[in-house]
Structures are given as structure tokens and as C-alpha cells.
Structure 1
Amino acid sequence: MTASAESARPRRTQKERREATVTKLVDATVAAIGEVGYQRTTVQEICGRAGLSVGAMFRQFDSRLDLIVRTAEVIVTRQTAAFTVVMEQLGAQENPLDTALRFLQAAQSDNVTHALREIYLAARSDDELRARIAPTVESYYDGVVAAVERTGVLSRYPQRLREPLFFMALHVFSGQAVVRGVYQRPELDEAVLELVGDMLRTYADAIDQ
């Protein structure tokens, strides 16, 4: 790039620079937690991945915990957006239930989901972390359940059963993703997916009778 082109490019505002730094830190935190786990995601690990100094991080966040909380918020926002897009397209699918289940299963193996799961596990024994992310997590699942409801993919089931059915599938696939890290059986994953779908359809048929 020439000097004239460089000078012609608008300079970023302080707010834009700050937002860019925060994004780098959050992205680095997501990658680190997903790859090396919550405990090994130190400030040094995060800053090294972000290409920033430790001082640069502490100019944006008072503590590692503050960055973790922000990271959880960003993950939830991104997950909600991706989930909503898929849910909005279900009506055009030949088999909406199968499409929804396949997306839910695949999403549990995404590195971003692994990072959020690691944060959940850490929150079990960290009262402050648990208290600070709880409102975000509650809002997240409320929004996801509402998105599922709008699709009508579970409309064959009574209202009182729809949320439990969603979480049943979510928990099955989440546990599957954890075990897959040490026990890889792709054919078993596919069999579980088909079984969950068959069980849901059989249950719906029984309710209709």
C-alpha cells in the first residue's frame, strides 16, 4: 500500500480501536478455552493468541474474570444468531425435525460450543462466575426455546412437553460431543441421531392416537 493510499484511509476512532481490541481478546479467549480448556486459558495465553500485551488487555478489562464473562456473552450472541438463521429456514426443509436435530448435534461439537461448555463447568465451582453469567445463560435458552417454538417443529407435542423435549435432545448431543473427544465412533453418533429422531416421531404418533 502506498503512503498516499494509507493517508487517504480514514483513521479509526478511539472507540473503534477499543472495540477491535476487545474483539481480538474475545476471539482469542474462545479459541484458547475451546482448545486448551478453561484452567489453562491464562491471561498470557489469551494475549499471546490475540497478539496483544497483557497491559493492553487490562486497559479493557479489570480482570480475567471480566473477560471470561464478556466472552460468554459474545458466544451466546453468536450462537443465538446462528441458531435463529437455521430455525427460520426449517419451513423450507423436506424433513424439518431431522434438519433441526442434525444442526443441534453438529453445533455441540463446534469449538465455540466447547468453549461455552468449559465456562459452564468452571461455573459449577466458581460462585462469582456462575452468578455473573447466569442472566446471560437464562436469556440465551429462553431465546432458543422461543425460536424453536416459532418454527412449529415440535407442534405435534403438547406445550408442556416442548421445552423438555428440546433440552433432552440438547443434553444427549452435548454429552455425545464430550465423550467424542476420547471415544470416536462416527457410526454410533449417526445411530444416536437416528434413534432420537425415531423416538420423537414415535412419541408424536402415540400422542396423535
Structure 2
Amino acid sequence: MSAKKPVPDSARRSERSRRAIYDAALALVGEIGYPRTTIEGIAARAGVGKQTIYRWWGSKAEVLMEAFLDLNEQNQQAASAHHPDVPLNPVSLPDTGDLEADLKLVLRATVDELKDPRFDAPARALAAEGVANQEFAETFVARLLMPGLDLYAARLRAAQEAGDVRADVDPLIARDLFSAPLAQRWLQLTGPLDHAYADRLVEYALYGISARPKKQE
């Protein structure tokens, strides 16, 4: 009696194809740039038919966004491995009770990510696509920007409850004091993007830039 052949696992096959497409999209954008990257090129690089891609996504921008989200998840896992005592994950920012140290840790990790060539090219491509395509911009903001910004707001609210941030501060405004300058420097290349800059952003945002009144003798 002959043994039965195993039934092919379509879920595993689909996951392998999806992973190959992610890798191909990220690689091509890094090698030849976003304008020259095509669905056909991604399919050829991934070893799949272009109809496979069109079955899951409607455009190369959508493919790249999914690939980028996956890359972010991998980076989060790597960051958690490097900081087991202060886990970095998509659910919350670190909360050790030291707001300044927690924010510096996060902004330093963000600097490292922004300077990673694997991240830089696709991130700039997605930002450019968002400028040119309003519909895509809404998706880009909702899926890529707002989740991270919401984590900052949540951490600042927790600091308010602990008495470390003034009660009258709006966390939805305050969060931009950390993220917006970093993004602007990255996009416009107006100066060095490093840990020292990240630390200074946190200090300026938390303690202000006005001259402190002299202590009374």
C-alpha cells in the first residue's frame, strides 16, 4: 500500500510568497529607487506572477507599505531583544518612572531606525507618495504615523497622572514636540541626526528654552 502524498499547505505557500514580495519590494526601492520600481519588477524579483501581487494589493505603494510595516515589526522585535529590561513594542512606550530617560531611549532608537538604509529608502518613498496621492496619504498617516504618535500621547498622559507633566498640557500637542523636529531633520537633512540631537530634543521639550528665573538668595 503506497503512502499518501502530503497535501500542499496553501497557507504556508502564500506566506512564503508574501515574504518574498516584501523582500523584493524593499530591495528594489533601495537599489533602483521608487519611481523605477514596478509591480512587474517586484514579481520577477520575488519569483511570483504579477497576478499574485494584484490579488493582494492594488498598487506598488500598497505593496511597499505592507513591506514597510513588516520591517517595522522586525525592528521592534530586535529592539526588544537589545533592551529586555525596558521592552519596546507596538503596544506602549517604556515606562520606568523616569520620563526623560524613557523618551531619550525611544528617540535614540528612532534615530537608529531612520539612519538604517533598509528603512530610509522605503520611508522616503512612502512619504513622497503621500504628498502626490491624497488618498494614499490618509492611509499612510493612519497606518504608519498615528500609531506611533498615539504611543507618545499615552506615555505623556501616564506622566501627567504621575505628576511629572503639568495637568494643563495637551498630550496630543506635546507629542509633536518630540516627533516633528526629528522627522523634519530626517526629511530635509538640515543637520546631523544622532543620539545627541535626540537627547537635546527631549530636554528642550520637557524643560523649555526660556531663561530660568534666578533663585532668590
TM range (shorter): 0.5 to 0.7
- Letter of the structure 1 residue corresponding to residue 153 of structure 2: E
Q: Describe the SS at the equivalent of 2:110.
A: helix
Total equivalences in the alignment: 190
Q: Describe the SS at the equivalent of 2:95.
A: helix
Question: Structure 1 residues 178, 137: CA separation in 2 closer, same or farther (over 3 Å shift)?
Answer: closer
Q: What residue in structure 1 maps to residue 202 of structure 2?
A: 197
Structure 2 unmatched runs, 5+: 81-86, 212-217
Q: What residue in structure 2 maps to residue 3 of structure 1?
A: none
Structure 1 unmatched runs, 5+: 1-6
- Letter of the structure 2 residue corresponding to residue 40 of structure 1: R
Please tell me the root mean square deviation across aligned C-alpha atoms, in Å: 4.0
Q: Which has the higher helix share?
A: 1
Q: Structure 1 length as normaliser, TM-score?
A: 0.67
Alignment of 1:23-172 (within 5 A): 23-50=19-46, 52=47, 56-61=49-54, 65-76=58-69, 78-79=71-72, 82=76, 86=88, 88=92, 90-92=94-96, 95-110=101-116, 111-112=118-119, 114-126=121-133, 130-132=134-136, 134-135=138-139, 137-152=141-156, 155=160, 156-157=165-166, 161-172=170-181
If asked which structure has higher relative contact order (CA below 8 Å, sep 6+), I would say: 1
1:26–1:70 CA contact under 8 A, matched in 2: yes
Q: Describe the SS at the equivalent of 1:90.
A: coil
Question: Structure 1 residues 25, 205: CA separation in 2 closer, same or farther (over 3 Å shift)?
Answer: same
Q: Structure 2 length as normaliser, TM-score?
A: 0.65
